[in-house]
Amino acid sequence: MSALEKSALWPFAEYAAGLHPEGLPSDVLHAAKRCLLDWFAATLPGTVIAPATLLTAAFQDCIHEPGGRGGARLYPSGETTDARTAAFIHGAASHTVEFDDIYRNAIYHPGVPVISAALAVAQARGVSGAHLLTGIVAGYEVSDRLGAAVNPAHYEFWHTTGTIGTFGAAAAAANILGLTAEQTLHALANAGTLAAGLQQAFRADAMAKPLHGSHAAERGVTVALAAEQGVTGAPDILEGPRGFGAAMCLNGMADAQPDWAKAASTLGTDYLIKQTTTKNHAACGHSHAAIDGVLELAKAHDLTPADVRQIRVGSYQKAEEICGNWNPQTPYEAKFSLPYCCAAALVWGSVRMAAFTPERLNDPQVRALMPLIGLKTDPERQAAFPALRSANVEIETIDGRVLTHFAPTRKGDPDAPLSDAELEDKFRELASDVLGQAGAESLLAAIWSIDAMGNSRDLVAAPAQAAQ
């Protein structure tokens, strides 16, 4: 056995390099299409606001008119650029409005880095839609497993989307570039040493969190392109005494090294991409079970804000730690405020993009409800995390009723999935504001049939003014 084959990364590299369109089951390809559709739903509204607009201005020297150099499209303008720039800008755009997908066992948003990288490389090289889907599958399967292996310990300080996402982007790009297993290993090894993303970045009203998506997507493309030219990495970057596992997963526990072999054991037999969560609310996923509970109780008992004396939520520790903000002042802070999101759900019946406009952020009914909402860590809900994102919701009414609902999972999780029709509705709602109704419908049809597309550059999203 060679030194490369002894590496903990070898099974992942061998898998990513050996994946081909004709070897994928139809349900896996369908799952990849769903992920691509959901990526566009989350990304398009992010392309027309900061930080994506600012990044586009920052990299203007690398951006060309439609049909120009580079091959990788920027959405929705149709301008072209190189793969690294496209991955960077789309990585931020896809992670801005908090509607991006999740692999819950890894506490991770795989579509952000994986699809941002895969689409950029596929278009830059002019490969088929089927090849694009294959790269997406490779990126999800590799990074979902690595993410689950390192968590929950890794998530104490690190943002999985920025760290593990770099591996996912590298695997996707390497597959699309047609790298050998050896080259793919070197790409993944260098992804490991370049992986970054600290949780402190999203404990403030800043643009840093979307930049984690940018970094992961762009670094993944970079290391794959470098490996194609012969740039090597440290094969033991995962398991080495000063490697990724020891430095970023142990938190002082010497016996807590991730089980890399176990993580790789089901590659090719159990497709984790089919277990992707598609968000039903435009907020941090740690608040979703509580939002679902409030919506269920409001619907079942015809509740209005005037009926409520108190709302009590019991969830897991990260929900309280990350989303326990009772006084959000900006739309970004509101997306990480479980009290705000639950109040908004009761007032408007949904927590979609409209819930985070400045007008609604300062709505008197919402602000009056928020102090009535209590949030604490429930030991049973904590014990089920991260495999389940659950919440107990109890609403005490003015007339003395105590109404309870247990949300064992979130709407959109694999055990309560959005149907294809519901996913299409989400896409239409988010894409139509950017592309117009006709443009959204055209892109929707193209995504569902992308495996028949000869060149992924033909995946066009017409701006609203062109579609009307």
Interval 35-91: pLDDT, tens: 999 999 999 999 999 999 999 999 999 999 988 789 999 999 999 999 999 999 999
- In this structure, the strands spanning 391-397 and 402-407 are antiparallel
Residue 152, phi-psi category: left (phi > 0), alpha (psi -120 to 50), beta (remainder):
alpha
In the chain, what are the domains?
10-275 (1.10.4100.10), 285-407 (3.30.1330.120)
Mean pLDDT of 105-122: 98
Q: Is the pLDDT of residue 347 over 70?
A: yes
Q: Return d(Cα 423, Cα 324) in angstroms, integer.
A: 29
pLDDT above 70 covers a percentage of the chain that reads: 97
CA 37 to chain CA mean position, Å: 13
3-class SS of residue 20: coil
Q: Is the pLDDT of residue 421 over 60?
A: yes
Q: Return d(Cα 421, Cα 430) in angstroms, integer.
A: 14
Tokens standing for 276? Answer: 């992707």
Check residue 373 and give its pLDDT. Answer: 98
Q: Is the pLDDT of residue 256 over 70?
A: no
Which amino acid would we find at residue 427? F
CA end-to-end span of the chain: 61
Tokens standing for 157? Answer: 């300080």
Give the confidence band of 205 by pLDDT, cuts at 50, 70, 90: confident
CA separation, residue 242 to residues 210, 289, 296 (Å): 28, 38, 49
Check residue 468 and give its pLDDT. Answer: 35
Check residue 466 and give its pLDDT. Answer: 42
Say what the pTM is: 0.94
Using the 8-state DSSP alphabet, how is residue 195 labeled? -
Tokens standing for 265? Answer: 């054991």
> Higher model confidence: residue 318 or residue 66?
318
Q: Is the pLDDT of residue 267 over 60?
A: yes
